[in-house]
Amino acid sequence: MPLFRFLARLLILTAGAVLGLALFLIAVVVFIAVLFASLIRGKKPSMQFRMNKNPWAQRRAPASEDVVDIEVREVPDTPPGPPGPPAPPAALTRPEQSTPR
């Protein structure tokens, strides 16, 4: 029985190794074929895959070309020149205390 178990494990191990090596060689052959095809045509291979980020999301209608009415607000111009020193905030200034003398 231990001999049969050893042979079964060896068979599964070699079958897995052969299958993995075969898949690797197929990938290398496909890569080389795509590479040579792109070199002959003179174009880069387009390896773009379209993938929906949320396949359960509902389809939206394309955006319409309607004109949107908005309110405009004028922003006053700043005077030219370098800005002056910033004014201290009111909360940080100390009120002058009058001390009797």
Model confidence over 69-79: pLDDT tens digits? 788 888 888 77
Structural domains in the chain (count): 1
What pLDDT band is residue 99 in, cutting at 50, 70 and 90? low
Residue 47 confidence (pLDDT): 67
Interior angle at CA 51, CA 48 and CA 54, nearest 5: 160
DSSP string, 8-65: HHHHHHHHHHHHHHHHHHHHHHHHHHHHHHHHHHTS---------S-TTSPPPPPPP-
- Residue 62 scores a pLDDT above 70: no
Which pLDDT belongs to residue 23? 97
Domain that holds residue 7: 1-45
Q: Does any domain span residue 31?
A: yes
At residue 58's C-alpha, the angle toward residues 55 and 62, to 5°, is 115
**pTM value > 0.75:** no
pLDDT of 9 over the 80 cut: yes
